[in-house]
Amino acid sequence: MKMWEGRFQKELDQAINSFNSSIGFDARMFREDIQGSIAHATMLCAVGVLNEADKEKIIESLQGILTDLESGELAFDPLAEDIHMFIEAELTRRIGDAGKRLHTARSRNDQVAVDLRLYLKKELAAITGQVEELIQVICKKAGEHVETVMPGYTHLQRAQPITFGHHLMAYAHMLVRDRGRLRDCLRRMDQNPLGSGALAGTTYPIDRELTTKLLGFSAPMANSLDGVSDRDYCLELMGALSIMMTHLSRFSEEIILWCSWEFKFIELDDSFATGSSIMPQKKNPDIAELVRGKTGRVYGDLMSLLTAMKSLPLAYNKDMQEDKEAVFDAVDTAGLCLSAFTPMLDTITVNKANMRAAAAKGFINATDCADYLVKRGMPFRDAYKITGQLVAQCIAENTILEALPLEAYQAKSALFQEDVYGAIGLENCVMERTSYGGPSPESVRMQIGLVKAELYESSNKV
């Protein structure tokens, strides 16, 4: 029996019932649906719409339904239209007419809106915690490698010397911004739509401030049409998750490169790699590859809901049922990726020698050679040209800048002296890059401190 079937002369076609039903995916919100219903019943009694005896029956029974669902004693009815109808039907089965009074001054439109916000608030807090855990792991690894010299890249070509710690902290700062976006999303999500009714509120003397307090929201939504039709918080959350997944995907791509034989900068722990069914020598970075692949899935979830919402008139439309599968999948996927990526990164082995050897090739100290001349009065463009000629000479002679004799330098400019070798030494090149945000050990330690302070300070803000 459908709660709404009084208007209809025929039963809903069974195939169409399955098409229309959302119980298969919105059942995960059963705790939030019961939480919202308890708050609604409490409020109805407080304003005199529901008597004390019915309120007590309703709340006691709802708590019993919650216990039975969590224990598995009560199973979800696959024929139910949605989680709201299932719980209301079970409540009415248990306590009769008192259960039928619960839906007074409420619509499924505001009911699902409050359920989804409550559910996503909880999930968002969990994902934010996972992001913080990853940031802490990155900071720890970066602290261990503030002096581990490696080549920095542009266009995937060796460019300038940096440290592994400096490289890692770039991702830490990306994730700090991701965390900020998630926290901003939570702030805007934290409004109570319950009491919006189907779209126009209600004639009953409800107390929306009370349900807001009971449900832990910061404020009631100020417009009832917006209360039932808004899914900005879903889109914003999926947008924030999509950006975060972009960062995880870029990081994954570098891990995939770094653990290849062509780089061999790192090695993955055996617990976070797989083998080949035919090639016994293989150690595949499947976890990183899956994170990279699942990024597209989260993008797809965002695009799916953006497309569904783009031309909907106010207020609620059944199209909006598509919100839950998309946002649930995005949240699940992002959380799963974080749970795999963090321990994978935490357990990598860093090959400092290979990083240093790669940094020694590719003339990544050429800029420092040009800067040496500039600091002695030569215009940068002239210094740039001379250094380029020296690099060309090294290539022709199959050598490196550090190995060129002083005579070769002085043949290009009398400004070159013996101390040029100190200026172009890789460790010195890194140590001298003390500009704010740069790769010097001191700078990287400062970056780690800034990130840790940001985590601590914002976590303790009321």
Return the beta strands (E) in 372-424 as ranges: none
Question: Measured in whole angstroms, how far is the alpha carbon of residue 22 from the centre of its chain?
Answer: 26
Q: What is the C-alpha to C-alpha distance for residues 131 and 138, in angstroms, rounded to an integer? A: 11
List the domains of the chain with CATH numbers: 5-104 (1.10.275.10), 109-143+163-357 (1.20.200.10), 360-459 (1.10.40.30)
Return the beta strands (E) in 297-406 as ranges: 349-350
Question: Measured in whole angstroms, how far is the alpha carbon of residue 321 from the centre of its chain?
Answer: 23
Question: Mean pLDDT over residues 331-353, rounded?
Answer: 98
Return the beta strands (E) in 101-251 as ranges: 149-154, 157-163, 191-192, 219-220
Which of the residues 18, 218, 260, 276 is marked catalytic? Answer: 276
The pLDDT value given to residue 13: 58
pLDDT > 80? residue 436: yes
Question: Mean pLDDT over residues 2-27, rounded?
Answer: 68
Contacts 24+ apart (CB under 8 A), 103-107: 103/3, 104/44, 104/49, 104/50, 104/204, 105/40, 105/44, 105/49, 105/195, 105/197, 105/202, 105/204, 105/206, 106/40, 106/194, 106/195, 106/197, 106/202, 107/196, 107/197, 107/198, 107/199, 107/228
pLDDT tens column, 79-97: 999 999 999 999 999 999 9
Which of the residues 71, 155, 311, 435 is marked catalytic? Answer: 155
pLDDT > 50? residue 462: no
pLDDT tens column, 382-415: 999 999 999 999 999 999 999 999 999 999 999 9
pLDDT tens column, 31-70: 999 999 999 999 999 999 999 999 999 999 999 999 999 9
Token pair, residue 190, equals: 């934290």
Q: What is the C-alpha to C-alpha distance for residues 389 and 12, in angstroms, rounded to an integer? A: 82
Sequence-distant (≥ 6) Cβ neighbours of residue 333 within 8 angstroms: 245, 294, 297, 298, 301
Mark out the alpha helices in 3-107 (DSSP H runs): 14-20, 23-26, 30-46, 52-71, 83-95, 97-100
Q: What's the predicted TM-score (pTM) here?
A: 0.91
Amino acid at 385: K
Question: Mean pLDDT over residues 158-173, rounded?
Answer: 96
Cα dihedral sign, 47-48-52-58: negative
User: Is 252 marked active-site?
Assistant: no
Sequence-distant (≥ 6) Cβ neighbours of residue 84 within 8 angstroms: 33, 108, 111, 112, 115
Q: Give the N- to C-terminal CA distance of the chain in Å, as an integer.
A: 48
User: Is 155 marked active-site?
Assistant: yes
Question: Mean pLDDT over residues 93-105, rounded?
Answer: 97
Cα dihedral sign, 414-420-424-430: negative
